Amino acid sequence: MAQAVWGYDSDNGPERWHENYPLAKGDKQSPIEINSKDVKHDSSLSSWHASYDPGAAKTILNNGRTCRVVFDDTFDRSVLRGGPLTGAYRLRQLHLHWGSSDDHGSEHVIDGVKYAAELHMVHWNPKHGNFAGALKQPDGVAVVGIFLKVGNTPKPEMKRILEEIDNIKTKGKEAPFQHFDPSILFPKSRDYWTYHGSFTTPPCEECITWILLREPIEVSADQMAKLRSLSKNPENEPMNPLVDNWRPPQPVKGRIVRASFK
Ligand SMILES: CCc1c(F)c(F)c(S(N)(=O)=O)c(F)c1F
Ligand SMILES: [Zn+2]
């Protein structure tokens, strides 16, 4: 019987999400393709600042759709501010999207370039009370997107997340993940694109201010292979590689993408 739950397979993938999640056909959906020629440099955009408490990191888990690190967001402990944002947004979780091979896997596509993976740091606006409330607001959530490309000088900090993969191989597995400051994953440059969009997974609420970093970080081919060794299935079921958990670009529908850089 067809899975009632959404996923990335032919019978429950992005082309069919709208059947159970009507927002998926909205006018401000993510991801999108960014074409530099259509981007508007906005000199009024300030730089963004993350002040994260390494002690806020709690656990890392495989939920069968991605690998997610969860943080304590019960108070303003790890926050993102500045850039296109008003106020401080609390870091709640980070997760990744990746491909079955190095030539694709990112959700946003930049001038036709698909990266091997895309890392999302999800923050929410505490003025809306809690995360569930923030999802209902256009300024509720801010996601920093970092592109991952395969290279020969991998970022040592990515090692920490990928070393934990061995402990969360199958769906439902969770492991402690503490003393981790995700800002070590940021590239040198703070240049970014920003636009208004949605979750790239159901229910696809249009509550996200996207902040996409222009400079990709490098990972090794081995690290990508490690990510692809995760299974979509629980431990008592056959290994089903967790790969291609990305949504394709959605219609821009007249939205303006602004750049913090010329
Ligand atoms: C509801 C949990 C959740 C996701 F599952 C998710 F995929 C994203 S995404 N890819 O747009 O960054 C979120 F921001 C998010 F908060
Ligand atoms: Zn994501």
Give the CA count within 13 Å in the CB-facing half-sphere of 214. 16
Pairwise CA distance, residues 205 & 195, whole Å: 15
Q: What is the whole-number distance in angstroms between the Cα of residue 262 and the centre of ligand 2?
A: 27
108 lines ligand 1 (CB under 6 A): no
8 A C-beta contact, residue 120 and residue 67? no
pLDDT tens for the chain, 262 residues long, are 444 699 999 999 999 999 999 999 999 999 999 999 999 999 999 999 999 999 999 999 999 999 999 999 999 999 999 999 999 999 999 999 999 999 999 999 999 999 999 999 999 999 999 999 999 999 999 999 999 999 988 887 788 899 999 999 999 999 999 999 999 999 999 999 999 999 999 999 999 999 999 999 999 999 999 999 999 999 999 999 999 999 999 999 999 999 999 9
List the beta bridge partners of residue 113.
110
Q: What is the pTM of this model?
A: 0.97
pLDDT for 242: 98
Phi-psi region at 112: left, alpha or beta (left = phi > 0; alpha = psi -120 to 50): left
Residue for token digits 């000199």?
Answer: 43
How far is Cα 138 from Cα 140, in angstroms, rounded to an integer?
Answer: 6
CA-CA distance, 98 to 118, in Å (whole number)?
7
What's the 206 CA to ligand 1 centre distance in angstroms?
A: 11
State how beta strands 79-82 and 117-124 pair. Answer: unpaired
- For the CA of 107, the closest atom of ligand 1 is 10
**Is residue 29 lining ligand 1, measured as CB closer than 6 Å?**
no
Asked whether the beta carbons of 183 and 160 are under 8 A apart, the reply is: no
- Could you tell me if the CB of 201 is within 6 A of ligand 1? yes
Give yes or no for residue 199 CB within 6 A of ligand 1: yes
